[in-house]
Homo-oligomer: A and B are copies of this chain.
Amino acid sequence: MISVKEAKNIILNSIQNFGIEEIPFIESVGRVLREDILADRDFPPFNRVSMDGIAIDFIPFKNGQRDFKIEGIQAAGSEQITLENSENCIEVMTGAVLPNNANTVIRYEDVTIKNGIATINIDEIKDAQNVHPKGKDRKIGDLLIKQNTKISAAEIGVLATVGKSLVKVAKQAKVMIVSTGDELVGVDEIPLAHQIRRSNVFTLVSLLERLQIPSETAHITDDKPILKQKIETYLKGYDVLLFSGAVSKGKFDFLPQVFEELGVEKLFHKITQRPGKPFWFGLKEFSNTDKHPGNQYKKNTIVFGFPGNPISTFVNCLAYFYPWYYKSVGVEVEEETAILAEDVIFKSNLTYFLQVKLSYKFGHLVATPITGNGSGDLVSLVSADAFIQLPNDKSEFESGEVFPLIRYR
């Protein structure tokens, strides 16, 4: 039995690099960038008009001139034209190139146009106003998005702008999610009195989907030879196996034995926490040629053996698989914290992952405990948003104290 901290360290020392793949940028939201994105030109790429109006040379205005003959129109998307006479003006549109010889833009709101003459109605005008100068935001070659950034809608716009129609991202692990337990029947089936439907595998599929990791699922009956044969195949065919159930002390909890017989190295079994104590974690080493010929990565298959109770599986996936994944793909995640809204007493030497409902009060993140009926009470997850992690070295936790937060919404 090891502590939550030790378990997390072991898991973070077992990260895997699954390599790189190139995908269409528009499908890359939620994925992790594996290349630096540089400016392909200056931003903006030209002196850009930032208001609809007229462009002038500032000198005549400064010298008192207010009426400017309109020489032409510079539309967005048109080649740059030239202000031929510095006492004239050109109508310009937002997004257009500033005409040659012009340097200042006055918006339509401050101008009257009549018979081809634009009269400026205000006196407060600054040299070069309403012009977004070439290269002001970024210079060609500047770093726009750092490698290892998790791509969001904000990055999508930048990728489009620099023409990255294909983008290099961290390849996802190939994941198999396995349920065990003879009491389980399919979602479409009517369970008998002593049966229940499978649910943990689907919860795990959804939790992995949040990370853009596709996964496959399987169910194996509580029969040791069958478990052994199937898991042997999965160890070879996948990068990560997630199990739910069969890791505790029951007579049919064959997984730890099967893992041992198949040469999966146990890195730990059981953590001093509630829920989710009997979590089994290990890895199977393969030589490169065994598994991924020609690929320098993906040597190990990582095995997460989560306990079968729904809340146990859920919290362990969030508390251990998520950090393992983020570190594997190179993303740094800031730890969130929340303020406990009520006193909590938990007398035990275990770290307590307490379900909470979150609310926002004056910039404070407040966590109100949700009382469930233990790790089997799947429905209690619906009323909560997150877990807070109460340390195992004390048993009384006061309203107002701050603890680490693990959100799932």
Chain A residues in the interface with B (C-beta under 8 A): 25-26, 29, 39, 41, 43-46, 48, 50, 52-53, 73, 75-80, 91, 93-97, 107-109, 132, 136-138, 144-145, 149-150, 152-165, 181-184, 187-200, 202-203, 205-207, 209-210, 222, 245, 248-253, 308-310, 314, 334-339, 359-366, 372-374, 376-382, 384, 402, 408-409
Interchain nearest-CB distance for A167 vs B (Å): 11
Q: Is the CB of A154 within 8 A of B382?
A: yes
- Name the CB-closest residue of B to A161: B199
In the complex, the count of this chain's copies comes to: 2
Given known pairs A157-B310, A182-B75, the reply for A202 and B43 (CB within 8 Å) is no
CA distance A96 to B190 in the complex (A): 17
Q: Is the CB of A80 within 8 A of B314?
A: no
Greatest chain B CB density within 10 A among A96, A159, A207, A379 is at A379
In the complex, chain B residues whose CB is within 8 Å of the CB of A359: 334
Q: Is the CB of A182 within 8 A of B45?
A: no
The contact of A161 among B94, B145, B196, B245, by CB within 8 Å, is B196
Interchain nearest-CB distance for A42 vs B (Å): 11
Q: Is the CB of B374 within 8 A of A360?
A: no
Q: Is the CB of A194 within 8 A of B79?
A: yes
Given contacts A109-B249, A337-B362, A364-B365, could you give 14 more A-B pairs where the C-beta distance is less than 8 Å?
A39-B379, A52-B249, A75-B252, A77-B184, A93-B250, A132-B373, A137-B373, A137-B379, A152-B408, A154-B384, A156-B206, A157-B314, A160-B199, A163-B189
CA distance A248 to B194 in the complex (A): 67
In the complex, chain B residues whose CB is within 8 Å of the CB of A73: 251
Q: Is the CB of B382 within 8 A of A145?
A: yes
Determine chain A's interface SS by DSSP, over half rule.
loop
Given known pairs A26-B205, A76-B181, the reply for A200 and B379 (CB within 8 Å) is no
Q: Is the CB of B360 within 8 A of A334?
A: yes
Q: Is the CB of B76 within 8 A of A202?
A: no
In the complex, chain B residues whose CB is within 8 Å of the CB of A52: 248-251, 253
CA distance A195 to B78 in the complex (A): 8
Q: Is the CB of A93 within 8 A of B251?
A: yes
Q: 5 tightest CB-CB pairs across the interface, nearest first?
A: A77-B182, A77-B183, A153-B206, A154-B381, A339-B363
- Name the CB-closest residue of B to A409: B152
Q: Is the CB of A132 within 8 A of B374?
A: yes
CA distance A282 to B80 in the complex (A): 35
Given known pairs A77-B184, A337-B363, the reply for A194 and B108 (CB within 8 Å) is no
In the complex, chain B residues whose CB is within 8 Å of the CB of A48: 376
CA distance A109 to B205 in the complex (A): 33
- Name the CB-closest residue of B to A50: B376
In the complex, chain B residues whose CB is within 8 Å of the CB of A144: 379, 382
Q: Is the CB of A75 within 8 A of B382?
A: no
CA distance A296 to B196 in the complex (A): 39
Interchain nearest-CB distance for A270 vs B (Å): 11
Q: Is the CB of A158 within 8 A of B382?
A: yes
Q: Is the CB of B249 within 8 A of A378?
A: no
CA distance A203 to B161 in the complex (A): 11
CA distance A154 to B199 in the complex (A): 10
CA distance A36 to B66 in the complex (A): 69
CA distance A179 to B192 in the complex (A): 57
The contact of A376 among B44, B162, B189, by CB within 8 Å, is B44
Interchain nearest-CB distance for A228 vs B (Å): 19
Q: Is the CB of B94 within 8 A of A248?
A: yes
Q: Is the CB of A402 within 8 A of B362?
A: yes
Q: Is the CB of B360 within 8 A of A203?
A: no
Q: Is the CB of B202 within 8 A of A156?
A: yes
CA distance A77 to B183 in the complex (A): 3
- Name the CB-closest residue of B to A108: B249
In the complex, chain B residues whose CB is within 8 Å of the CB of A203: 153-154, 156-157, 160
